[in-house]
Amino acid sequence: MKVRESVFGDPVSVMLTIALDLFTHSIVAFRLTLVSDTSVDIAMLLRDVMLPLPMREGWDGDMEWPYPGVPAALVAQFAGHRVAALPFFAPETVTTDHGSPYKNHHVVEAERTLGCNILAARTLRPTDKFAVERAFSAINSLLLEHLLGFTGADVADRGADPEADAALTMSQMEHLIATWVVKIWQNRILGEYAPAWGPGEDHSPNSLFAAAMQQGGFALQIPRPELYYGLLKAHYVRIHPRRGVKIGGLWYHAVVLDDPRFHVPSTRGGRHEGKWVIRSDRRDRRTVFFQDDMEPDRWHVLRWSGVPPEGEIPAFSDRAAEALLAEARRRGLAPRSDAELLPVLLELLGSAIPVALWPTQMTKRERSRRSRQHAQTEAAAADRAPAAASGRGRDAEVLAWPEQARTVQDRVDADRHRRREAATAGRRPAPPPRLGEVLRRRTLFLLPLDEDEPEAVARSEERR
């Protein structure tokens, strides 16, 4: 497909990445990117699988949560908004191909954070992920080839000028795909993908998910907003007393780092002994994030030292930061602080050119690079908490999550406590055995108890 990017309106190609449930063939999450998907996009896609999709403007009641057993009002109460008819759950096993973003160490660590088993497909074996290949073919035949700007896999599939025919913007395309997935894909008859236990029956992804809920139940688990930071790339560094931390060649600082307890090595052991953990989003290098061990529920925003105190600067990605450092080395600059690198960055980003002169002063490649950077910045802002994405608290040193997130977590804990008390009413559950109790009973080197010792008698009574 060719769509219009949101900066200059030029026709560009976008990359569609989907997460497909193998049993129900539900498209549980998808992402559109102007560049090829990166490791952070894959990590956030797995996070989207666990989040309920909110209802959007123009969606009718038929597209709301329809699955029996869990009322829509209950799901909306836990999520804080009306939930669309799309499954959400914690993925157990993730099967990917051998593309570099999927084998990245960042993605592997994100999957371990989510508790997923990694099952890579065999090389040159498309049958290992046949459902995904068939889903892309169905998306082309059922949706994309009916839209303006469709290019297809062959020149015979496209029109005379698909770039001129492109009319949808990237945001409109994303909304169209979301509407089509919820309203059409989730309710279409699967045909040959019908389950073996229901011969002759008509099943859709929604009906299969409802059957799975009836057979195995449904875990209504909604991750906390802090999961966004836990899935970002981790950097293990030491904190400088005056300059802060150095991530990817740039220095970041905040008032919280002036605490003397951060100027000494941390209590971390192992491979990264004595170092502190900093999280960064490669799509927006203006800030990095730091979690204090004393306050695990709060994440501190560390701003780039080159950002002027009176305002913000245009967002720049990891690639722009590498170009900035390379340009500084080429010019022979030896800056005493990162603030001296700001003019070089603005020159590389083209921010010194008036907006009215951008299409004439910039080449097509430069315009594409700028629009891609803008799309990545919007995606990074959308992945954060609603307070941070809307601009509130952007200049604050600490991100404070909305009270709604705490309320949802409290309701989850209260419901679990109520069900636990109802299950154990009238009888006291037996305590679990101690760790290694089976090995202690079966070992050949265990000495017999001395009945004269009071401690041994007390232990034997506890066992009885």
In tens digits, the chain (464 residues) has pLDDT values of: 888 887 777 888 889 999 999 989 999 999 999 878 889 999 999 999 999 999 998 898 899 999 988 999 999 998 989 999 999 999 999 998 888 888 889 999 999 999 998 888 888 887 888 888 889 999 999 999 888 888 887 777 777 788 888 888 888 999 999 999 999 999 999 877 677 777 778 889 999 999 999 888 888 888 888 899 999 999 999 999 889 999 999 999 999 999 998 989 888 888 889 999 999 999 999 999 998 888 887 889 999 988 776 666 777 888 889 988 998 888 888 887 888 887 888 777 765 555 555 556 667 777 777 778 878 888 888 888 653 333 333 333 333 333 433 444 454 455 456 557 767 776 666 777 777 776 666 666 666 655 555 555 555 555 55
Domain containing residue 212: CATH number: 3.30.420.10
Residue 436 domain-assigned (yes or no) = no
SS3 226: coil
CB 288 within 8 A of CB 252: yes
Domain stops at, among 390, 406, 422: 406
Q: Where are the alpha helices (DSSP H) in 143-204?
A: 162-165, 170-183
Among 406, 432, 448, the domain-final residue is 406
Are residue 237 and residue 113 in the same domain, yes or no? Answer: no
Tell me how far apart the alpha carbons of residues 459 and 456 are, in angstroms, rounded to a whole number. Answer: 5
Tally of domains in the chain: 2
- H or E stretch covering 445: none
Residue in 316, 296, 292 with CA at minimum distance from that of residue 304:
316
292 closest CA partner among 307, 278, 305: 278
C-alpha separations of 303 from 27, 75, 203, 225, 256 in Å: 37, 37, 51, 21, 12
What is the per-residue DSSP string for 277-314? Answer: EEEEETTEEEEEEEE-SS-TT-EEEEEETTS-TTS---
From the list 339, 337, 365, the residue with the least C-alpha distance to 350 is 365
- Residue 42 tokens read as 């894959």
Number of neighbouring beta carbons within 10 Å of residue 104: 17
Half-sphere exposure of 154 (CA within 13 A, CB side): 2
Inter-helix orientation angle 342-349/318-331, to 10°: 120
Inter-CA distances, 167 with 9, 150, 173, 368, Å = 10, 11, 10, 17
pLDDT at 129: 85
Tell me if 154 is assigned to some domain. yes
Question: Residue 264: which domain range?
Answer: 227-406
User: What is the reported pTM?
Assistant: 0.77
Residue 66: phi, psi to the nearest 5?
-110, 0
Cβ count within 10 A of residue 208: 22
Same domain, 137 and 252: no
222 domain-assigned? no
Residue 458 lies in a domain: no
Whether 242 and 293 share a structural domain: yes
| Domain presence at residue 69 | yes
Name the helix (H) or strand (E) containing 71.
Answer: none
Q: Are residues 146 and 271 in the same domain?
A: no
**Full DSSP string of 109-150:** HHHHHHTPEEEEPPTT-GGGGHHHHHHHHHHHHHTGGGSTT-
Which structure tokens are listed for 350? Answer: 């083209």
Instruction: Return d(Cα 373, Cα 286) in angstroms, integer.
Output: 13
- Non-local (6+) Cβ contacts of 422 within 8 A are none
Question: Which residue is it, tokens 């009945």?
Answer: 451
Q: What is the pLDDT of residue 363?
A: 74
Q: Are residues 183 and 306 in the same domain?
A: no
Q: Do 78 and 171 fall within a single domain?
A: yes
Q: Parallel, antiparallel, or unpaired: how do β-strands 245-247 and 284-291 relate?
A: unpaired
- Contact of 108 with 118, CB cutoff 8 Å: yes
DSSP strand pairing (27-33 vs 245-247) = unpaired
Asked whether residue 34 is assigned to any structural domain, the reply reads yes
Of 172, 191, 216, the position where a domain reaches its end is 216
The per-residue pLDDT for 392 is 34
Q: Cα(260)–Cα(243) distance, rounded to whole angstroms? A: 13
Are residues 68 and 198 part of one domain? Answer: yes
246 and 210 share a domain? no
Residue 335 falls in which region: left (phi positive, over 0), alpha (psi -120 to 50) or beta: beta
> Would you say residue 303 lies in a domain?
yes
Do 210 and 109 share a domain, yes or no?
A: yes
CA distance 392 to 243: 26
Residues 289 and 193 both lie in one domain: no
- Is 330 inside any structural domain? yes
Same domain, residue pair 289 and 260: yes
Whether 83 and 206 map to the same domain: the answer is yes
Which amino acid does the sequence have at 331? R
